[in-house]
Amino acid sequence: MRFTAASIALGTTVALLLSACGSGDEDTASSGDGSGGGSADVAAAEEFIADFVGQPSPFPIDTPLETSPAGKRIAYMDCGTPICGLFYQLAQAPAEALGMELTRIDTGFGADTVATAFDTVVSGGYDGVFVPAIPVQLWESGLDALAEAGIPVVTSGVVNGDPAKIGVRQVSEIQAESAGALLAAYVVAENGDDTNVVVYQTPELQFTSVIWDAFEKKMKELCDSCSVRTADVPAATFGTRAPSVIVDDLQAHPDTKTVVFAIAEQAGGLPAALETAGLDIETIGNSPDPAALEQIQNGDMAAGLGLDLPVVAWTVVDSLARLTTGQEAAPGAVADQPPMQFLTADDLEGDVSHGWTGYPDFADRFTALWKNAA
């Protein structure tokens, strides 16, 4: 069976995953002297991002699959948010190609419902588990039980998980730290000594704080005296009040020249709000969804750091195929470096409503690695 990027709708990306969670107050921290200038190492910044400009970073998996996982039963823990629905959609094609049975199990975000769902998996004879975007604090006891039972677990979008109990962690601390550092270098490369930037976090999304920490660290390395601060855009405001939250913050900090969104969906509806407020400011989004990609195409967002979600999903299924058959996970999966690329309007032609992949032939690449598995 042939699967292509065009046949798989990406839908929304990683930003609405916990939109049902509560909101938080703005939390602003600053570094630098506030002058917005001073000794930016533009050459070092350009060198740091060079491999992510004009082309995607390398395809992560190149290790052939040796043993077929046909018949293996995989539990998919569906938290009920858009990101969980997205990854379930993306995981179905590779599971079918490998002959694996993928079963969706509803978890929600309540402590009781999550615990019940994991109890079901432990007692249900499943061979492996895929957990996307559920805070690990909600299923620590379930993780312990799965580890004790010898059932492999693979995650996506989960931080602070125990690597001794989770076989592969995609889009975890490693990827988030990489994204934060790359975004900082990009800002310095574009603005030099004029850098004056805010990074918007979302408290409910733990990975955004990892991105901020890495961003701030890299900024200190590349331009210690440049003005850098952070502020909050609560998840509950996405799609509704986020533009006003951002505009209010920018009006309170009129020297800000660049906005970095730790997750690009924070920028939904922002262009109109900026225009109404008379604000002309550079915006850069991490992991842009189709709406943010359209903003980039239209010139409403300067750039985005694209994250290849189809490749992430297929890497997770590939990892479960290996772990459930006694093989080691592919080194590229363990490294947690899925394809990323800085995207500008010049990089985005045609329809972006299905999202972005740096490797339109990703399905062919995976199936070529799987074809000789016995």
CA distances from 345 to 191, 274, 298 (A): 18, 20, 7
Tell me what pLDDT residue 215 has.
98
Q: What is the distance between the alpha carbons of residues 319 and 317, in angstroms, rounded to a whole number?
A: 5
CATH number for 214: 3.40.50.2300
Tokens of 327: 């093989």
The average confidence (pLDDT) of the chain is 89
Cβ atoms within 10 A of the Cβ of 163, count?
Answer: 11
Residue 91 domain-assigned (yes or no): no
Averaged pLDDT, 289-308:
94
Residue 13 domain-assigned (yes or no): no
Q: What is the distance between the alpha carbons of residues 343 and 356, in angstroms, rounded to a whole number?
A: 10
Residue 295 domain-assigned (yes or no): yes
Averaged pLDDT, 263-286:
95
Nearest Cα to Cα of residue 176 among 134, 211, 138 = 211
Contact between 176 and 182 (Cβ < 8 Å): no
Residue 241 has pLDDT above 80, yes or no: yes
Q: What is the pLDDT of residues 94-148, one digit of tens each?
A: 999 999 999 999 998 788 999 999 999 999 999 999 998 888 999 999 999 999 9
The amino acid at 187: V
pLDDT confidence bin for 5, thresholds 50/70/90: very low
Q: What is the pLDDT of residues 197-208, one digit of tens each?
A: 999 998 877 889
Cβ atoms within 10 A of the Cβ of 340, count?
Answer: 21
Q: Considering only 25-34, 156-165, 234-243, which range has the smallest mean pLDDT? A: 25-34
Phi and psi torsions of 98, nearest 5°? -95, -5
Q: What is the distance between the alpha carbons of residues 294 and 298, in angstroms, rounded to a whole number?
A: 6
The amino acid at 65: L
84 or 15: which carries more pLDDT confidence? Answer: 84
Averaged pLDDT, 270-298:
95
pLDDT confidence bin for 81, thresholds 50/70/90: low
Residue 267 domain-assigned (yes or no): yes
Structural domain range at position 217: 23-56+174-307
Tell me what pLDDT residue 327 has.
97
Tell me what pLDDT residue 99 has.
98
Averaged pLDDT, 327-352:
95
Q: What is the distance between the alpha carbons of residues 258 and 274, in angstroms, rounded to a whole number?
A: 13
Cβ atoms within 10 A of the Cβ of 85, count?
Answer: 18
Cβ atoms within 10 A of the Cβ of 101, count?
Answer: 14
Residue 217 domain-assigned (yes or no): yes
CA distances from 250 to 243, 265, 266 (A): 11, 18, 14
Residue 14 domain-assigned (yes or no): no
Averaged pLDDT, 153-158:
93
Averaged pLDDT, 3-30:
40
Q: What is the distance between the alpha carbons of residues 186 and 334, in angstroms, rounded to a whole number?
A: 26
Nearest Cα to Cα of residue 176 among 209, 200, 154 = 209
Tell me what pLDDT residue 203 has.
84
Residue 224 has pLDDT above 90, yes or no: yes
309: Cβ contacts below 8 Å, ≥ 6 apart:
10, 13, 14, 86, 87, 90, 355, 357
Q: Which of 134-143, 285-294, 364-373 has the highest average model confidence (pLDDT)?
A: 364-373
Q: Considering only 2-6, 187-191, 246-250, which range has the smallest mean pLDDT? A: 2-6
Q: What is the distance between the alpha carbons of residues 229 and 242, in angstroms, rounded to a whole number?
A: 18
Angle at 74 between CA 69 and CA 76, to 5 degrees: 145
Residue 35 has pLDDT above 60, yes or no: no
Contact between 143 and 162 (Cβ < 8 Å): yes
Residue 136 domain-assigned (yes or no): no
B/e letters for 246-276, b = 16+ CB within 10 Å, e = fewer, are bbebbeebeebbbbbbbbbbbbbbbbebbee
3-state DSSP assignment of residue 248: helix
Structural domains of the chain, count: 1
Averaged pLDDT, 173-197:
97
11 or 215: which carries more pLDDT confidence? Answer: 215
Residue 277 domain-assigned (yes or no): yes
